[in-house]
Structures are given as structure tokens and as C-alpha cells.
């Protein structure tokens, strides 16, 4: 079976597996805030003195709407919203600190959005100092943030560098003007060049660019042009990922163009294959799914040492058992449970003022969940997994093998006595392989489409 035939066969809706269970299959009926608090306390005791914890802080404000974006955001040009939001974030952090018997040790902190650089450098400084004042920094901590090339200033970069940030990622998406207009993200190459070179001059050791394939009106030539320009700047790592077209979830933000404006599945995959080859020739190595890094980047090192980790922030070199999400819509992960914050800013403010951790849904993992979670994490990070260890035995192993049988025939993986390995041919289909392990997806086939296409 040739590559295009495989794409047609396996291009089905499927999760990206930044978590297991995936959000649509969380058991929210039995979830409670009391359970979540107990889960975080258990995980904190186990992990704080060992590896520390991660923090994800969601900064939701944007001045304009990008129609490719699926993140929770609030569009506004009123910058007076900054200060009250930071006040609420610091109060939420205090609510978590109140649960713990000692100061949290922060190993990883990431500012995401929205547009973190919507906030002034002074307000970002107030936020970070407020967070770290109640914590201890791990020996090899990593602070990172997402910057918009159009509004990230030298002051932003210098202020955050002085606060300990050494990693920054910039959303490039595509340099073609037709594509940029379709996704409402106009940003010249000169803007990306300026922030990349300024960050490097200041001393950032890991600069990332995000590039998307499969965007409306996008062609292979656009991908070539974007990567050629990217090579002029040589960022340390690149996220080169598929546009997830899910307008039934994300509403009007992804209805600024017609479905017919999107590349066909085969063309979309060709965009990726050509882009990947160009990145490989330029010296980048593929890391997990849709990520690339230079050999000098910590993400590459984590891959070679088998320490690569994946969570709601994507791939990371800083594995921690617990990740606390602060801000509207943020998702927290204690390893034993997940919890998502309310999505409305007004409701978020109200709960914070009432002294309530503002989660509105979640899931506490049972023993089966924990086993499958580890297998899917192994596949997504290392393209292999094993059930040799007693703690990773699978109850539905024969059923899983049956679901993998067609993929074995198609040479996407090799089944061994007590594990499996994904082949080079199978790497583009790792999401499909993970789906065979996803017993919740098998038991509760959704009546409507919940996920983007896997290819």
C-alpha cells in the first residue's frame, strides 16, 4: 500500500493525546473539587521534593482574532483588563499554596494564551514575582513564554530574561500574505526576524517558531517559502503541526473561510513531508510528533536520554508529575487527576473572590486509566511501549492486539512478545496507533465528531 493509500485509510478523526483520558471522556459525574484537592495534595507530597512541579498560566487577551486559533481567548484593545486579571491569578496561586505543607518547588513555568505579550512588561514582572515569592526554584528550572512577533518588544524580552526566562516561542504559521489574510494573522518576516534576533542577542538559549500546515489556501510552495525564511533565522526548535479544523467546537472563529479552501488530505500530508525533509536537511531532528529541534536544544537532549515528556503544553524536556494550571480555561494535571478551570472571566473572578479554586470539570483516573495513560505517553514520546512490567499489564491486551492487526499488516508497527515498536513508516500514524489502546474511545464511540483528522 503506497503512502497516499495509507493516508486515505487512516485519516480519521482522532485525539492528539495531550492527555489520557481525553477531555470528552472525562467522568465528570463523579468528579468533585474535594477529590481534586486530595489528588493535588497526594501528588505534591510525592513530587515536590523530588522533581518539583510545573505551572501553566493562561493569559487570554488578544487584540484581534486569528481564525486558525482554537485557544480560549478574549478579544479586546482595553489594556486596563491586565491588572485585575493578574490580581486574580495570584489569588488562585495562593489557594493552591494553602493546600500544601511546604513551599512549592517550581521546575517549569510557561505563559500561554491568548497573547501573553498583550500584557505590559511591568505587569508580567508583577505576575512572575508574585508567583516566585511563594515558591522555591528548582536547580534547573525552565521558564518559557509565547510571544506574538507583532507586539513583543525588547522590553518584554529583557524583563522576562531578567526574571529567569530562557525559552520563548513565536507564532509564525505561514509567511504567505494570502494565507495570512485568510487566518487574520498579518505579520511580516521582518517582525519575526527582529524578535528572534533580539531574543538571541539578550541571551535566550531556546527560541522556537510555530509553523502550521494545512491552512486555507496553503500550498506546498508556501511551505517551502516559509521554511526557507525560517532557515535564515535557525530557531532552536520548531513546532510544525497540522491545522486542526474543528469549527463545530471552536465556533465562528474558524468559519472565516470555507472547507473547500483547505488543502486535501494528500496535499496536506505532502506539505508536511516536504517541510520535514527540508528541516532535516537544515540540521533539525524530528522529536515526537510534529516537533523538531537542533542538537543543541534541550528538547533534543530529552529525546536522546528518553526523558521526553508530553502534557497539555505539548512536548517538554522538563518532566514533572504535577502541573498546575492558573487562569481561565487552564487545565491542571496531578497525574492522578485532571481539572479544568471555568472559561468565563467573570465567573473566574467571582469564584476566586469567594476563595474557591475555580475548576468546573475534571476526571480522577482509575487504575486502568493510569496504565493506558503510560502506554500512550510512551508511544507519543518514544514510539514504543512495553507491558512486560506488572504495573503496565493491560486488561484488554487481546482486544488491543486485534485493533492493531491491520496496522501490523500495513507495516506501521512491529508487535513483539511483550511490547511494540512504531516503524518509520508508522510514525505519521502514531495517533491512530494510540487509538487502539484508548478503551474509552472504543467503549463510547461518539455520536458526533469530536476531534480533528489524524493526518
pLDDT at 40 over 60: yes
Same domain, 7 and 98: no
pLDDT bracket for residue 89 (50, 70, 90): very high
Q: According to the model, what pLDDT value does residue 265 have?
A: 81
Q: What is the DSSP string of 46-110?
A: HHTTTT-EEEEEEE-EESS--TT--S--EE---GGGHHHHHHHHHHHHHHHHTT-SS--EEEEEE
Residues 274, 252: one domain? yes
CA dist., res. 339 & res. 435, Å (int): 22
pLDDT band at residue 361, thresholds of 50, 70 and 90? very high
pTM of the predicted structure, to 2 decimals = 0.92
Q: What is the CATH number of the domain that holds 441?
A: 1.10.10.920
Is 31 within the bounds of a domain? yes
Same domain, 438 and 315: no
Do residues 412 and 316 share a domain? no
Q: What is the mean pLDDT of residues 109-118?
A: 93
Domain total in the chain: 2
Instruction: Determine the pLDDT at residue 260.
Output: 84
Q: Is the pLDDT of residue 132 over 90?
A: yes
State the residue range of the domain holding 306. 23-326
pLDDT of residue 77: 66
- Whether residue 8 is contained in a domain is answered as yes
Confidence of residue 314 (pLDDT cuts 50, 70, 90): confident
**322 and 240 in one domain?**
yes
Q: What is the mean pLDDT of residues 430-455?
A: 80
pLDDT tens, 55-77? Answer: 999 999 875 666 555 566 666 76
Distance from C-alpha of 263 to C-alpha of 281, rounded to nearest angstrom: 25
Q: Is residue 347 part of a domain?
A: no
Confidence grade of residue 254 (pLDDT, cut at 50, 70, 90): very low
DSSP summary character for residue 453: B
Q: Is the pLDDT of residue 256 over 70?
A: no
The answer on 382 and 307 residing in a single domain is: no
Please tell me whether residues 9 and 149 are part of one structural domain: no
**Does 376 lie in the same domain as 293?**
no
**Predicted confidence band of residue 435 (pLDDT cuts 50, 70, 90):** very high
pLDDT more than 70, % of the chain: 93
> Rounded to the nearest 5 degrees, what angle is found at the Cα of 435, between the Cα atoms of 442 and 20?
90
pLDDT above 50 for 248: no
Question: pLDDT band at residue 295, thresholds of 50, 70 and 90?
Answer: very high
Does 360 fall in a domain? no
pLDDT of residue 1: 74
Tell me, what's the pLDDT at 245? 59
- According to the model, what pLDDT value does residue 450 have? 59
* Cell reading at 412: 506501521
Residue 211 and residue 115 in one domain? yes
Of 157 and 317, more confident: 157
Q: What is the mean pLDDT of residues 177-203?
A: 94
CATH of residue 277's domain is 3.80.30.20
Query: What pLDDT is stored for residue 168 in this prediction?
Result: 98
pLDDT at res. 120 = 96
In a domain, 85, yes or no: yes
pLDDT at 246 over 60: no
Are 209 and 306 in the same domain?
A: yes
pLDDT tens for each residue of 373-408? 999 999 999 999 999 999 999 998 999 999 999 999
Instruction: Give yes or no: residues 123 and 172 share one domain.
Output: yes
Q: Are 332 and 325 in contact (CB under 8 A)?
A: yes
Alpha-carbon distance 226 to 230, whole Å? Answer: 6
Q: Domain check: are 265 and 301 in the same one? A: yes
pLDDT greater than 60 at residue 351: yes
Please indicate, yes or no, if residue 337 is contained in any of the structural domains. no
428/234 Cα distance (integer angstroms): 24
pLDDT recorded at residue 204: 98
Q: Does the CA dihedral 251-252-257-258 come out positive or negative?
A: positive
Q: Which of 209, 220, 224 is nearest to 268 (CA)?
A: 220
Residue 292 lies in a domain: yes
- Say if 357 falls within a structural domain: no
Q: Average pLDDT, stretch 233-246? A: 88
Residues 86 and 359: their CA atoms lie apart, in Å, by: 18
pLDDT > 90 fraction of the chain, expressed in percent and rounded: 74
Q: What is the mean pLDDT of the chain?
A: 91
Amino acid at each position: 500500500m503506497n503512502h497516499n493509500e495509507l493516508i486515505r485509510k487512516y485519516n480519521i478523526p482522532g485525539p492528539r493525546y495531550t492527555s489520557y483520558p481525553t477531555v470528552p471522556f472525562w467522568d465528570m459525574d463523579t468528579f468533585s473539587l474535594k477529590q481534586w484537592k486530595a489528588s493535588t495534595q497526594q501528588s505534591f507530597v510525592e513530587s515536590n521534593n523530588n522533581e518539583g512541579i510545573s505551572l501553566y498560566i493562561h493569559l487570554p487577551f488578544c487584540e484581534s482574532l486569528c481564525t486558525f486559533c482554537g485557544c480560549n481567548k478574549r478579544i479586546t484593545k482595553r489594556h486596563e483588563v491586565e491588572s485585575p486579571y493578574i490580581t486574580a491569578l495570584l489569588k488562585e496561586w495562593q489557594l493552591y499554596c494553602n493546600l500544601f505543607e511546604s513551599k512549592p518547588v517550581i521546575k517549569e513555568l510557561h505563559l500561554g494564551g491568548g497573547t501573553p505579550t498583550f500584557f505590559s512588561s511591568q505587569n508580567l514582572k508583577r505576575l512572575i514575582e508574585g508567583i516566585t515569592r511563594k515558591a522555591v526554584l528548582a536547580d534547573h528550572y525552565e521558564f518559557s513564554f509565547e510571544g506574538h512577533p507583532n507586539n513583543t518588544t525588547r522590553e518584554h524580552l529583557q524583563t522576562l530574561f531578567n526574571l529567569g526566562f530562557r525559552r520563548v516561542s513565536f507564532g509564525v504559521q505561514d509567511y504567505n500574505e494570502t494565507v495570512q489574510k485568510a487566518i487574520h494573522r498579518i505579520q511580516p518576516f521582518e517582525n519575526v526576524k527582529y524578535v528572534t534576533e533580539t531574543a538571541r542577542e539578550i541571551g535566550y538559549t531556546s527560541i522556537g517558531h510555530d509553523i502550521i500546515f494545512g491552512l486555507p489556501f496553503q500550498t506546498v510552495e508556501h511551505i517551502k517559502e516559509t521554511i526557507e525564511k525560517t532557515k535564515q533565522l535557525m530557531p532552536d526548535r520548531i513546532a510544525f503541526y497540522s491545522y486542526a479544523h474543528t469549527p463545530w467546537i471552536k465556533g465562528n472563529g474558524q468559519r472565516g473561510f470555507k472547507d473547500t479552501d483547505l488543502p486535501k488530505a494528500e496535499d496536506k500530508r505532502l506539505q508536511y513531508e516536504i517541510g520535514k525533509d527540508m528541516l532535516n536537511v537544515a540540521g533539525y531532528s524530528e522529536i515526537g510528533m510534529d516537533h523538531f529541534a537542533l542538537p543543541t536544544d534541550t528538547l533534543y537532549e530529552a529525546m536522546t536520554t528518553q526523558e521526553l515528556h508530553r502534557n497539555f503544553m505539548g512536548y517538554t524536556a522538563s518532566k514533572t508529575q504535577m502541573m498546575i494550571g492558573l487562569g481561565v480555561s487552564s487545565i491542571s494535571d496531578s497525574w492522578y487527576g485532571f481539572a479544568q478551570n471555568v472559561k468565563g472571566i467573570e465567573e473566574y473572578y467571582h469564584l476566586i473572590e469567594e476563595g474557591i479554586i475555580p475548576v468546573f470539570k475534571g476526571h480522577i483516573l482509575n487504575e486502568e486509566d493510569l496504565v493506558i495513560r503510560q502506554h500512550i505517553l510512551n508511544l507519543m514520546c518514544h514510539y514504543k511501549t512495553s507491558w512486560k512490567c506488572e504495573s503496565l499489564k493491560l486488561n484488554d491486551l487481546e482486544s488491543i492486539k486485534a485493533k492493531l492487526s491491520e496496522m501490523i499488516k500495513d507495516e506501521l508497527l512491529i508487535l513483539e512478545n511483550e511490547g511494540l515498536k512504531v516503524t518509520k513508516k508508522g510514525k505519521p500514524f502514531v495517533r491512530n496507533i494510540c487509538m487502539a489502546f484508548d478503551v474509552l474511545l472504543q467503549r463510547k464511540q461518539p455520536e458526533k465528531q469530536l476531534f480533528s483528522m489524524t493526518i
